[in-house]
Chain A
Amino acid sequence: MIGPSDIPTLPRGVRLHYDKVRETWVLLAPERAITLDAVGHAILSEVDGARSFAQITAGLAQKYNAPAEEIARDSAGFLGALRDRRFLDVSR
């Protein structure tokens, strides 16, 4: 499970891309393209390799005026699934 002080990073070879044909954001990764919904795109847009998970989710909670615990729970699930597929690195 991703902890509050953990710092998520998109590793080399994984990047956000706006798909003009399908009019949606996707995450491009080795031999994969993952369609992102608005929530997924919002979370990954905050991942900059510098800020911690707690800082990211607090920022999102403020930006979208939503409960921080709920944001943290959803984000942890989403980012954890990306980490399991090696699309995200997490440093402690």
Chain B
Amino acid sequence: MTPPPPIAMLAELTHRCPLSCPYCSNPLELARIDAELDTGTWARVFQEAAELGVLQLHLSGGEPASRRDLAELVRAARDAGLYTNLITSGIGLSQRRLQELDAAGLDHVQLSLQGTDAEMADEIGGYRGGFARKMQVAQWIAEIGFPLTLNAVLHRRNLHQLPRALEMAQEMGARRIEVATVQFHGWAMKNRDALMPTREQAAEATRIVGEARAALKGRLVIDYVPADYHGDYPKRCMGGWGTTGLNVAPDGQVLPCHAAQTIPHLSFENVQDRSLAEIWHNGAAFNAYRGTDWMQEPCSSCERKTVDFGGCRCQAMALAGDPAATDPVCVKSPHHGALQARAQGHAATEGATLTYRDAPPKTAREPAE
């Protein structure tokens, strides 16, 4: 079976970041700084992506502004014919750099929001002064006229700030806000006691989003990622494994999703060794969970099997110990009851402190004695 071409590519340009959010989606083992792809290699990968059928390029990290060649990379992506989206915290972007990105043809900015005031945002981001700088960057973005999406990442500590986040999106002139409840992978798994929303909070967020969608129709588009563990059916992760999108890590490894390295039996190929098209079509990791042949019960006889493709493979690995199992978020999973009980337990834990993500190493670690 020939897979359809991918629509979107997430380019993780670097794992460096001034922030150290405790729910960071980067892997626990961060890519070394000296292993990052250079400008020319990224430009080639963008060309290969466009030829393969990618339309949307998400320039992400880490913090993509930590790459000095960001404007050059944007220009290379536009030359390749890609729609360029910058996913940023805003830290590291000066007015001048934003003007350079404008001149390079950047199409859209997605700005993350860790909280709606400095106290919350700087604590979650682990970076004092970050909120004030982000607000300044938001103003420059509006002055230049970049289309803006505000990405509010929400969890137990800041879900009460959702109404204010919706106001801020409008004040910034954003066309769109992503209301994203934290997904528990990687670093966030270490912080479930501190960040797991309560069932009541999750329901309240759903109510607020529903009302705001009706009230703001045609003015602000709201994309909503509800709290996973409190759901009854899992998410159609990545639109289906190996069907819609792919990720390129800072060192050139090509992944079916950003958490795929948590599945121990998968091996990944590198754009420095093979073309993106070869990897997409024939790479073992991409073919591992494509389609439905890999499924076991209750997925294989389920009427929803091509609706959500059994949910998230990485979550099945993390919570059921088997990447081919049904995502335990699903009511049909034998682990579902236990997961809900655990979610309640995490949400009821008081006094848990935040475990922040690390900084990536510069070079390979010295071998242990």
Question: CB within 8 Å of B: which residues of A?
Answer: 11-14, 17, 19, 21-22, 26, 28, 30-33, 83-86
Beyond A19-B55, A30-B85, A86-B219, 18 extra complex contacts between A and B, CB < 8 Å: A12-B145, A13-B108, A21-B51, A22-B53, A28-B56, A28-B107, A30-B110, A30-B147, A31-B56, A31-B85, A31-B110, A33-B7, A33-B56, A84-B218, A85-B221, A86-B175, A86-B176, A86-B218
A83 to B175, CA, bound (A): 11
Which chain A residue lies CB-closest to B219?
A86
A19 to B7, CA, bound (A): 11
Judge whether B92 is part of the interface by a CB distance below 8 angstroms.
no
Interchain Cβ contacts within 8 Å, total number: 56
Task: Annotate B53-77 by CB proximity to A: 1 below 8 A, 0 otherwise.
Answer: 1011010000000000000000000
Given known A13-B108, A21-B5, A84-B218, contact A33–B147 (CB-CB < 8 A): no
Which chain B residue lies CB-closest to A28?
B83
Task: Annotate B39-62 by CB proximity to A: 1 below 8 A, 0 otherwise.
Answer: 000000000000111011010000
Q: How far is the CB of B105 from chain A (nearest CB, A)?
A: 11
Interface of A is mostly: loop
* Residues of A contacting B53 in the complex (Cβ-Cβ under 8 angstroms): 19, 21-22
A86 to B85, CA, bound (A): 16
B55 touches A26 (CB 8 A): yes
* Residues of A contacting B217 in the complex (Cβ-Cβ under 8 angstroms): 84
Judge whether B81 is part of the interface by a CB distance below 8 angstroms.
yes
The answer, among B58, B147, B219, B221, for a CB contact under 8 Å with A11, is B147
Q: Which of B203-234 contact A (CB under 8 A)?
A: 217-221
The answer, among A13, A17, A21, A26, for a CB contact under 8 Å with B147, is A13
Q: How far is the CB of B33 from chain A (nearest CB, A)?
A: 28
A30 touches B149 (CB 8 A): yes
The answer, among B52, B110, B175, B220, for a CB contact under 8 Å with A21, is B52
Q: How far is the CB of B79 from chain A (nearest CB, A)?
A: 14
A33 to B81, CA, bound (A): 13
* Residues of B contacting A22 in the complex (Cβ-Cβ under 8 angstroms): 5, 53
Q: How far is the CB of A77 from chain B (nearest CB, A)?
A: 14
A14 to B147, CA, bound (A): 9
A30 touches B107 (CB 8 A): yes
Judge whether B146 is part of the interface by a CB distance below 8 angstroms.
yes
Q: How far is the CB of B238 from chain A (nearest CB, A)?
A: 14
A28 to B81, CA, bound (A): 11
* Residues of B contacting A13 in the complex (Cβ-Cβ under 8 angstroms): 107-108, 146-147
Given known A30-B85, A31-B85, contact A17–B221 (CB-CB < 8 A): no
8 chain-A/chain-B pairs, Cβ below 8 angstroms: A12-B146, A13-B107, A22-B53, A31-B149, A32-B56, A33-B7, A33-B55, A33-B83
B55 touches A17 (CB 8 A): yes
* Residues of A contacting B108 in the complex (Cβ-Cβ under 8 angstroms): 13, 30-31
A83 to B108, CA, bound (A): 18
